Amino acid sequence: MSNRHMSNPPGVSIGQAAALYRLAPSTLRWWESQRVLPEPPRTNGRRVYTETGLRHIGLAYLCCVTAAMPLEHASVVTSGNRNHDWQGTVRRHADAVEEKIKQMQSAHAYLLHLLQCPDDDIVTECPDLDDELMNHTPRGLVTAQSLVTAAQSIPPRGATHQKRDETDSQRDEKAPTPDRCTVCTKPFTQRARGRRRKYCSRACQQRHYRQGTNRHRRSPKPPAAAHQRKQP
């Protein structure tokens, strides 16, 4: 074996290291910037990942992908210091995962129950809906029998919220006031999403642009500065 192979331990590029775990190279760079991974040694300015570096990436994958840890928590786990902070971070995330598992199990059980329901109209025909609402929604915190009575028994959170709700209900009964086009002044309705429009159509928008261009061309040039000296 040559001295060259003995002095330089085998390693792979960032692309090869990322491909081993089906990740993008940018993910490894991002994990490095967030201190989930240590910066690897470089050869000729390029990252080189040795066996230890690849094991470190594997641990980061287990934390960030498999365990779905936030990066700030994963950086504590991959630091290698099994201190009190390390233990607390792992325990808190394990508790959060356990709570999530309970929620998912409850969701799974309800979906299976929903598939077995023989009623076509669940809202009006299902006899088990009231029990499901009592057991799996905040409605169960109120002991009233009917939903209307339960809703009426809940005190309002404040006069401000109550007044705003009444204002909103009155506003819903009124038809929305349409906007008017800047060019032709015709009324038009705004889209539900996107930037607020000023024109009713593309043609009016182009017309407004041409009018502005023509005004710019017809505007007189500013007079020359008084302090400019005349040419001899």
| Cα 7 versus chain centre, distance | 47
Total residues belonging to the chain: 232
What gap in Å lies between CA 200 and CA 197, rounded to an integer? 8
Q: What is the pLDDT of residue 82?
A: 87
Q: What is the pLDDT of residue 104?
A: 94
Per-residue DSSP letter, 79: T
Q: What is the pLDDT of residue 164?
A: 57
List, in sequence order, every residue forming a beta bridge with 43; answer none if it has no partner. Answer: 46
Structural domains in the chain plus CATH codes: 8-79 (1.10.1660.10), 121-152 (no CATH), 179-216 (no CATH)
Q: For 82-110, what is each residue's pLDDT tens digit?
A: 899 999 999 999 999 999 999 999 899 88
The three-state secondary structure class of 150 is helix
Host H or E run for residue 46: strand 46-47
Q: What is the pLDDT of residue 218?
A: 62
The three-state secondary structure class of 188 is strand
Q: What is the pLDDT of residue 76?
A: 95
Q: What is the pLDDT of residue 152?
A: 87
The three-state secondary structure class of 187 is strand
What gap in Å lies between CA 232 and CA 230, rounded to an integer? 6
What gap in Å lies between CA 199 and CA 205, rounded to an integer? 6
Phi, psi of 23 (to 5 degrees): -115, 165
Q: For 165-190, what is each residue's pLDDT tens digit?
A: 555 555 544 555 678 888 788 887 77
Segments in the chain below pLDDT 70: 1-9, 157-177, 192-194, 213-232
Residue ranges in 78-227 assigned as alpha helix (H) = 84-116, 122-125, 129-136, 147-153, 159-173, 202-218
Q: Which residues contact 172 (CB under 8 A, 6 or more apart)?
A: none
Q: What is the pTM of this model?
A: 0.55
Extract the tokens encoding 224: 């020359």
Q: What is the pLDDT of residue 202?
A: 78
